[in-house]
Amino acid sequence: MLSTFRAAILGLGFALLMSSSHAQNQGEASSGNSNSQAALQRVVEQAVQKTLQEFSAKKLGSNQLAVTLVNLKDPAHPVEANYRGEEQIYPASVIKLFYLVTAHRQMEDGKLKDTAELRRAMRDMIVDSYNEATGYIVDLVTGTTSGPELSETEIKEWHYQRDAVNRYFSSLGYTNINVNKKPWCEGPYGRETQALKLFKPTRNQLTTDATARLLTEVVTGKAVSESRCEQMKELLKRDYEKPGEADDQAHAFTAKALPKGAKLWSKAGWTSETRHDAAYVELPNGMRFVLVTFTLNHASEQQIIPFLAKEVMACLGEIR
């Protein structure tokens, strides 16, 4: 009886010791994550401050820049920091990343048939950033089409269907975004214009935080299946060392900041008012990170995004 009692006491003591050790380890891990996030936040703030100073003569304002950085040194435990990361901004062609993921999700679920024409459109939407290809994808994933004006009842039903992508990302916990418009070259007509007049918001909107989250989920194989994420990465891959146009996605934007031997996956977007890039970078020294940079009212200033990226990389290496 005494032997049994002693065994029970020893067992209880061992359990308490293990519980205390686990709590201590968890506390240390939590503290480590907190320290890493704080250090990463300093990296973002320093990079933004230096960028604002560098382009002060160009009148780059603090409200004309938004940045989110995700350190993927440990892909299982990404660490994020941002500057105005929840600010809604018109995303231009960066929105196409959200339509790409939606298409693959629907194919994975058997809701969208995988065809050669769909594959052609996805490639053209991401690799060449064609708006016509994107319009076709939007039609497929929402079950809507552009065309003549509709009756009051019909346009409400049409808009509900067109909002399918918003509902999907909302179900995943994404907030502060609007993903239900086609990108245009000349502008919308018919029911597209009708919807703009009737329903708010009237434009696509993203945040750098939401964009960085989605790109992180793609490159870590979590956005859909690992196989589909690899397929998406293949479209996003940019060979910046290969000759090409000076202002394309592979040679301008974040690519300008990269050292020889780095690897880049990205989706850029630009209009007469905006210039953005969502990039995943793997450096020769082993650093891996997602960097999303949105700029406003400085679309012709091509050096802002690469300057900020260089500042981020310079400081990121100091984080242990």
Q: Tokens in use for 68? A: 């989110």
Q: Tokens in use for 193? A: 């214009």
Band of pLDDT at residue 142, cut at 50, 70 and 90: very high
pLDDT at residue number 246: 73
Enter the pTM of the model: 0.89
Residue 237 is inside which H or E element, if any? strand 237-238
Condensed to tens digits (0 to 9), the pLDDT of residues 248-277 reads 898 999 999 999 999 999 999 999 999 999
pLDDT at residue number 320: 59
290 contacts 219 by C-beta, under 8 angstroms: yes
Question: What value, to the nearest 5°, has the Cα angle with vertex 99 and ends 207 and 191?
Answer: 95
**Rounded Cα distance, 57 and 80, in Å:** 30
- Four-residue CA torsion sign, 63, 88, 69, 141: negative
Q: Tokens in use for 56? A: 């002060």
- Contacts of residue 157, Cβ cutoff 8 Å, sequence gap at least 6: none
Condensed to tens digits (0 to 9), the pLDDT of residues 30-70 reads 545 677 899 999 999 999 999 999 999 999 999 999 999 99
Helix (H, G, I), strand (E, B) or coil at 151: coil
Q: Tokens in use for 230? A: 């690899």
Helix (H, G, I), strand (E, B) or coil at 296: strand
Domains contained in the chain, CATH given: 36-89+208-320 (3.30.450), 90-206 (no CATH)
